[in-house]
Structure 1
Amino acid sequence: MTTTLSAPSTDTPRPADPTARRLALGAVLGPVLFTLSWLILGFVSTGYTLFDHRFTDYSPISQPISGLGMGATAPYMNTAFVVTGLMLVAGLVGVFRATTTAGRLAPHRAAFVLLACSGVGQAVCGVFDLEAVMPHTLGFVLALGAPIVGFLLAGLHLRRVPGWRRFGSRLLLGSPLTLVLLVGFFLVFQPTADGAEHGIAGLVQRAGILEVHAWFVAMGWLAYRRR
């Protein structure tokens, strides 16, 4: 009689890392802070001046969130941009540490780097306001564009992690959805003073940011709850 010893599964979950779980909360708290910031500041904004044009009112439907990074609300909104970006990066470190399995000691680095670029992009938007057109635009593209591929790679990674397969499959949907919302924003956005006072570019941008942040919140919360 012979006994066959099966090789250990490469997907065996590693013991929960308390530090990683706590860090993962950054992916939850960062987006919550950011959302509350633009909601509250949008109500109290008295307008701003951009390239010698005075916006006497602020509309969340037509104007981007970055408009709150100008005028009297600038110190608060730009701080929220930077803090949220840093919290997202820290949160993603926790998420990927929490989802590393015994057979995969290194997380999917490409997925982590791309998703972390979203946090970096938000921080860049806080450092460079709307008048610094090129770096601010780069920050926005990183914040909303990097997750297009990042969600795809992260979804494929999480599908192989015990307890994360269902979420990983759902995360794959985040890639095309984010792409549609980003393209939709650029289709309705008009980079003129008149364009910033009319249309729905601000509404579409907020939908895109809320969608991306919702995936981050879900990842952070699931990683935090992992035991």
Structure 2
Amino acid sequence: MAPMTLSMLDWQGWRDVATTLSVAPGVHEPSAFSALLASTLSDVEGKTVVDAGSGAGLIAIAALRYGARHVVAVDSDAAALAVTAENVERVGGPEARARLSLWQADFAELGLLRADVLAVNPPQRPTAVLGGVEPGQRHLHVGGGDDGLQTIRLVLRHARSSEVRTTAADVLPVTAALALDGWLPPERLARTTLPVHPAWEPLTGGREALVDVWSFLAT
């Protein structure tokens, strides 16, 4: 199959790409949050990018499409890495696949990688709302902790990238709770209203919510 032709896309465009990707059982399907993150990667030409928690590979595909020199897809699930590789080659072709590396690891091992940009759409549903997640999917969303930010803290503690870009639902206290040594105060790169899973409703009051992409620059 010939590679897809992908122009500069907004989050809806990347969401459309996501619907074409293969997803193995138990692998996180690309969400609207991931699509928003993908839409912010148009400045990664020539850079090394880590797709942390690659799932089906949407972020890797976006980074490669926008000219990343090298992308490392990191996931603790071997099945996720397999579908990432499959989707990258199907969407981007052999040339894109040649710029992709795969690493089975968890976020605590990110310190072993040096990169220009680390992009992550982390588990961020606070513990109090996890009961609203389907039992078969709950393992994919555990880790946000009481305020939803625990996985982002984990990434920031271990990342050795010049920049970390992360999604975060706007109801989460990012600027108040994520002042960590080694990182400048976060800058908001994007904010838009996205559809959200029903589990979010106790916090958002509905099936749509503001979602941000934040950039943390290393000091």
TM-score by length of 1: 0.25
Q: Which has the larger radius of gyration?
A: 1
Q: Which protein is richer in strand relative to its size?
A: 2
TM-score by length of 2: 0.25
- Bigger RCO of structures 1 and 2 (CA < 8 A, at least 6 apart): 1
Q: Which protein is richer in helix relative to its size?
A: 1
